[in-house]
Structure 1
Amino acid sequence: MASAPGSTVWPAALATRRLALRPVAAADVGAIARLWTDPEVRRHLGGPVDSNVVRIREKRCVGAPGAFAVVRQADQAVVGLVTVEPGARDGRTEVSYQLLPEHWGQGYGREAVAAAVTWAREGSPSSAPGVVALTQQANLRSRRLLEGLGATVEDSFVEWDEPQVLYVFPSPPAE
């Protein structure tokens, strides 16, 4: 899936059957900012982000390491954002994702997260502690997506005043 197998050098470009994941470009900022302000997208993420924070994020997101714009190959529409953050949680790489609501239910999230997890693993030494994702317990869509990709619940706890579920992705088979 990655353009350079075995490498997580940034910038990176990933591809699935229908999507391209690439560094956020200036032209993507409008769609990405919608992810931070849309009440449905932010329903399980603490609500819409304050406009001052959005302005700061808009300046910092272009080319930010590990931040992939998720782009539909057929028409180059930005459908979401996936981030890969090495060492984010107990030394493990955390994968996060958001899709615009008009693109929900089409399998784009599953494709994008699967590509990002594969890419994250490629750059990790075999001794690395793994790849995880966090979602609110109430976010059933996200939980189904993660479980559909083979991730399993490792822990549950309260963070940001809401019950959270930490998922761990299985290690790839030994070659």
Structure 2
Amino acid sequence: MSHVPAPTPPARPLVTERLVLRPVRSGDVPAVTRLWTDPEVRRHLGGPVIDSVIRIRQRRIVGAAGFHAVVRAEDGVVLGLVTVEAAGRGGETEVSYQFLPEHWGRGYAREAVGAAVARALEAAPSVVAVTQEANHRSRRLLEAVGLEHAESFVEWDAHQVLYRRSR
């Protein structure tokens, strides 16, 4: 008789002044799919995701632990996605994010990522985030929420920067 682990309970919603970060629901899939296919969103993330991978992701993301739809509290519009997961980098927790271009420049990403980092640091000794060196907006956001440049390296044929914040 094999032991099947119990499913991971969904993360409790994280509420900020203007946003709610909650598990992805089936109604969020079209907006999340746009994140994976929009050339502007994916410019520093290796380009748009191919169709076969999108179909797999669409089946797996609803209710998946670590994935948080970022919705505007006032109207429930999906603005983006924040992911919080074990990074494999010495047990650190990694935060990543993508937001739809029509919501850029309004502070939503900073608010959501800052809240996700703060929550992650309640349980983890440190949080990391990686972005391309050329992604200046993302680098400013990470610095604004208290992460500091920790190292630079080349991966996926691009210069990357790892940021870290410890408790």
Equivalent of 1:153 in 134, 149, 152: 149
- The residue number in structure 1 matching 2:32 is 32
How far did residue 11 of structure 1 move? Answer: 2.5
Equivalent of 2:158 in 162, 167, 175: 162
In 1, Cα distance between the equivalents of 2:101 and 2:121?
A: 28
Deviations 1:48-101 (A, max 9, x none): 000110010000000110100000011100000000002432321000000000
- The residue number in structure 1 matching 2:5 is none
Using the size of structure 2 for normalisation, the TM-score is 0.92
Using the size of structure 1 for normalisation, the TM-score is 0.88
Unaligned runs of 5+ in 1: 1-8
The answer on whether the counterparts of 1:150 and 1:170 sit within 8 Å (CA) in structure 2 is no
In 1, Cα distance between the equivalents of 2:136 and 2:11?
A: 32
Deviations 1:127-166 (A, max 9, x none): x3x1000000000000000011121100000011100000
In 2, Cα distance between the equivalents of 1:149 and 1:85?
A: 18
Does structure 1 residue 144 correspond to structure 2 residue 140? yes
In 2, Cα distance between the equivalents of 1:111 and 1:89?
A: 25
- The residue number in structure 2 matching 1:6 is none
Equivalent of 2:129 in 133, 143, 150: 133
Unaligned runs of 5+ in 2: 1-8
- The residue number in structure 1 matching 2:3 is none
Deviations 1:106-145 (A, max 9, x none): 0000010011111111123xxx3x1000000000000000
User: In the comparison of the two structures, how many residue pairs are matched?
Assistant: 159
In 1, Cα distance between the equivalents of 2:123 and 2:111?
A: 19
AA at the equivalent of 2:35: L
- The residue number in structure 1 matching 2:44 is 44
In 2, Cα distance between the equivalents of 1:89 and 1:19?
A: 29
- The residue number in structure 1 matching 2:53 is 53
AA at the equivalent of 2:136: L
Does structure 1 residue 92 correspond to structure 2 residue 92? yes
The answer on whether the counterparts of 2:10 and 2:63 sit within 8 Å (CA) in structure 1 is no
